[in-house]
Structure 1
């Protein structure tokens, strides 16, 4: 087993972080390009957002299948297959001549992208000792965040400088370098044991999780929070690209640096959970998200950016706590319970634009804020419901409050 600090530890962790960076850079690459794509193909904001929506939709659905397949076929082989698919589809995107072609390739790209996020932690669980696993997972998740930020920054600056098609060409070259490093660095598995594919067992487990109200509420909270949070960025790019701001794609890409406060939020969620139950920490995160959304109404681009810093902090506090709640609350098959959370999470990302679009046409950004607060009020109620139905008081607070029994 791989020990923390060993050469094999750093090679494996770096390989998975590079793969994660590559995947999430490609997921979010179109967000700063939305105004450019709208002009190039004469599309409405909703139609343009499909270039992002279709990818998160197919990515979310693919997560249900990669995990079980990796139990049969092996982890590195399937991860490499999916990463190579991302490189090829990204290069293909640089040569499309119609929006329909772009959507088709983005959908296929999403199917390819799901391989690494669905399998990476399972690979770590097979090969790493427990202390090494905790450290490696934290570094791997940071790769997710950096990929999301990096893809948007690359997209914004290259799109502003060369054009939207060249963005995909540059991303395909960067992705090819990432895949090469991934293959060179990742140690061959030594402790993997193939298992038979059991689709019936998988379906029964998924049904059990959906029938558990404590898990279902957490799935809905995570999905609907991302439903709002991520799609706010899409409509904010249109707001900031128009009068009175007139920001270019490069500066729109910089707006996604607000995700950095989410890294702080993820880290602090664990500290909050030492004093408060996880449902209450989720509720606190949602309140931050609602507050940041209101701040964006103030009449300055700087206030919009400040609001998104608050949003990202609150969202990742809630997201980290909700995903941890799922892992601790599932009575069996925790891996499939966590995968199902991610399915709701990405389905929320892929559908939020359709919900917010009527609000955008009604009152532009002010309408988006109203639509956002309606959904966030519902997720706040769901988080409070989780507290009353099944919260567990943190160990440091036991004896201060009476522990509420799970229902």
Structure 2
């Protein structure tokens, strides 16, 4: 599952550091260049619930394995896109294909892992996300700088293909899941129950804000470092993506803290970490920008780990649908905020980006305090 999480984020976000190169080669604005990320995450958001329904019928492992395989093949096709429009279309198709793994992964873990260690298990899976996002971005930036973005994309697709094969070969079959027929009516009724819960809608909103802010920061930080006074190359900019390593530490650590002290007592701290890191990036010295980005990444992966593991306890039934709803809204945050922040960049450059993200992170802190007041509830 760590390998699956790794491949998911590498395929989904590997092209993020190439946005300045796309702006230059295809003559598109930063907001338009963000389409390589927003198209994929938006399409994924819309495909997560259908993917979870397929998993209920055909099984967890089958859907996740096919998802990774198709995504790797679409990434290979992206390397030969003839123009930016075709590239965005292929990225949207990748989002549809890739939805099968995140839609099912946390439900699979919730069913197969002892509840006493579920937090750290999901933390390890999300650490795989962090490692994949870091390595994918870092490698793509280096390869694009020394060769081209097309060569970099071919390498990414090939790595994804190998990951898909190993994932299918090694992942145990589900032991606590029985495929079942589902209907739209039952799904809608279950969704209404989830949205009427006292905690789940606030967890969904938390995912929207955290992911939207995380993607937005990395979308436009590359443009800031490429411009004066820094003037960094793709290889130099890639260093910023290595700071996602903070997430590899944060996810299992936050999971352990949540298992020990309760999710309601830890989530708000992660929101404050993100806000503190964001404010630090306003500084001019590059060391403070790096420090702020590391603190921001630490807070994001820790917060996501806590919020996503909380779903398994709040959702008594239809856990896979609860996970799919959370991730649909989570990736919509990536798509929507990732694009809207581009207009803030056009308006006031980095100060505009920080202003918008700061407002959203204050809202996430308020939501975390509200969730802190919830009475505990364990899933049966």
Whether TM exceeds 0.5 here: the answer is yes
Is contact 2:208-2:332 (8 Å) kept? yes
| DSSP 3-state at the match of 1:269 | helix
Separation of aligned partners in 2, 1:165 and 1:142: 28
Pair 1:17-2:2 in alignment? yes
Pair 1:82-2:63 in alignment? no
Residues 240 and 220 from structure 1, CA distance in 2 versus in 1: closer, same or farther, beyond 3 angstroms?
A: same
Where in structure 2 are the equivalents of 1:87-98 lying within 5 Å? 87-98=72-83
Give the deviation of 1:60 after TM superposition: 2.0
Pair 1:327-2:312 in alignment? yes
Separation of aligned partners in 1, 2:376 and 2:107: 27
- The equivalent of 1:33 in structure 2 is 18
- The equivalent of 2:293 in structure 1 is 308
Residues 298 and 329 from structure 1, CA distance in 2 versus in 1: closer, same or farther, beyond 3 angstroms?
A: same
Runs of 5+ unmatched residues, structure 2 = none
Runs of 5+ unmatched residues, structure 1 = 1-15, 394-407
Give the deviation of 1:328 after TM superposition: 2.2
Report the TM-score when normalising by structure 1: 0.85
- The equivalent of 2:35 in structure 1 is 50
Task: Provide Cα deviations, 1:127-153, integer angstroms capped at 9, x if missing partner.
Answer: 778789887655433322221111111
Separation of aligned partners in 2, 1:180 and 1:143: 17
Pair 1:355-2:340 in alignment? yes
Task: Provide Cα deviations, 1:207-259, integer angstroms capped at 9, x if missing partner.
Answer: 11112242212211221122112211111000001111111112222211211
Task: Provide Cα deviations, 1:86-127, integer angstroms capped at 9, x if missing partner.
Answer: 122111111111111001000000111111222345555667
Separation of aligned partners in 2, 1:156 and 1:262: 20
74-83 or 347-356, which moves further after superposition?
74-83
Residues 303 and 338 from structure 1, CA distance in 2 versus in 1: closer, same or farther, beyond 3 angstroms?
A: same
77-86 or 240-249, which moves further after superposition?
77-86
| DSSP 3-state at the match of 1:157 | helix
Is contact 1:19-1:116 (8 Å) kept? yes
Separation of aligned partners in 2, 1:113 and 1:177: 15
Is contact 1:63-1:118 (8 Å) kept? yes
62-71 or 96-105, which moves further after superposition?
62-71
Q: How many residues align?
A: 377
Separation of aligned partners in 1, 2:376 and 2:59: 37
Is contact 1:277-1:391 (8 Å) kept? no
- The equivalent of 2:331 in structure 1 is 346
- The equivalent of 2:221 in structure 1 is 236
- The equivalent of 1:204 in structure 2 is 189
Give the deviation of 1:377 after TM superposition: 1.5
- The equivalent of 1:156 in structure 2 is 141
Residues 122 and 228 from structure 1, CA distance in 2 versus in 1: closer, same or farther, beyond 3 angstroms?
A: closer
Separation of aligned partners in 2, 1:138 and 1:358: 34
Task: Provide Cα deviations, 1:29-66, integer angstroms capped at 9, x if missing partner.
Answer: 11110111110101111000011011111122222122
| DSSP 3-state at the match of 2:34 | helix
Report the TM-score when normalising by structure 2: 0.90
Give the deviation of 1:204 after TM superposition: 0.8
Separation of aligned partners in 2, 1:377 and 1:265: 20
Structure index of larger Rg: 1
Is contact 2:69-2:165 (8 Å) kept? no
Pair 1:258-2:243 in alignment? yes
Pair 1:65-2:50 in alignment? yes
Residues 358 and 79 from structure 1, CA distance in 2 versus in 1: closer, same or farther, beyond 3 angstroms?
A: closer
Residues 81 and 275 from structure 1, CA distance in 2 versus in 1: closer, same or farther, beyond 3 angstroms?
A: closer
Where in structure 2 are the equivalents of 1:271-282 lying within 5 Å? 271-273=256-258, 278-282=263-267
- The equivalent of 1:225 in structure 2 is 210
Separation of aligned partners in 2, 1:380 and 1:124: 27
Give the deviation of 1:278 after TM superposition: 3.1
Residues 274 and 139 from structure 1, CA distance in 2 versus in 1: closer, same or farther, beyond 3 angstroms?
A: closer
Task: Provide Cα deviations, 1:157-199, integer angstroms capped at 9, x if missing partner.
Answer: 1111111111111112222222333344345667763311232
